[in-house]
Amino acid sequence: MRKKHPKASDRAAFNYALISMVSMDDPGLVILPTHRLIHNYTAKAPGQILADAAEYFEVTSLPDRKALEVALSLATADDRRIGFYDGSYHLLRLKSAEVMGRIVPDRAVEWCRLDVSILHELAIERVMGITKAQVEAKTYLDYCRDLDQALAEVDAGGATCLFILNPTRIVEVKACSDKGEKMPQKSTDFYPKMISGLVMLDLGANERL
């Protein structure tokens, strides 16, 4: 718009963007988890993924989904837990937070403690050998917010396995923001969503603010 209207005022509407500000302390604001569905991945079988994950995680087999949900609910800032499903349920508990500091020393401690950071840096990249470029291109990975749907995809053979995540905590987002860190991709599915079209901004060249 600036190229099309070089003489437009600095107050032209197209120089501005609408934003919405919501208090992080609002009790109605939550973050929903976004799970990672692995598909078309043949470098390692699920059993080998779990075996190799033991370098970084304490791996425990669980009898059913309920047991996994209970185990995940016990996670704390110092006890990071990720679920894994390949037809059976497994819990991955990070052995030591220090490993993240060694692998990504340029990132803030708060970022290194995020479940999503741990999953991608350790399990997806180092254990499975999936690169950041492949993650970006979704070569072997899809994001799924509906856990029932994701589990069914594995059961139907449409996916190799599934990483099940706890939701990111609001306090973790704040801690990362305070350190100037950007949140990892697909880690902040805030709910509820703004109603699309509730407020609109005319970007016409003659509109002034």
30-191: in CATH 3.30.1760.10: yes
Give backbone dihedrals phi and psi of 66, rounded to 5 degrees, phi first.
-60, -45
- Taking phi over 0 as left and psi of -120 to 50 as alpha, with beta for the rest, 53 belongs to alpha
Does the pLDDT at position 205 exceed 90? no
Rg (CA), the chain: 21
Task: Give tens-digit pLDDT for 71-87.
Answer: 999 999 999 999 999 99
Residue written as token pair 């599915």: 189
What does the domain layout of the chain look like in residue ranges? Answer: 30-191
Task: Give tens-digit pLDDT for 105-114.
Answer: 999 999 999 9
Task: Give tens-digit pLDDT for 14-63.
Answer: 888 888 888 999 989 999 999 999 999 999 999 999 999 999 999 999 99
* pLDDT given at position 62: 98
pTM strictly above 0.85: yes
Does the pLDDT at position 185 exceed 80? yes
User: From the DSSP assignment, how many helices (H) and strands (E) are in the chain?
Assistant: 8, 8
Q: Are 127 and 52 in contact (CB under 8 A)?
A: yes
Name the CA dihedral angle for 93, 97, 98, 103, rounded to a multiple of 10 degrees.
80
Amino acid in the structure at residue 22:
V
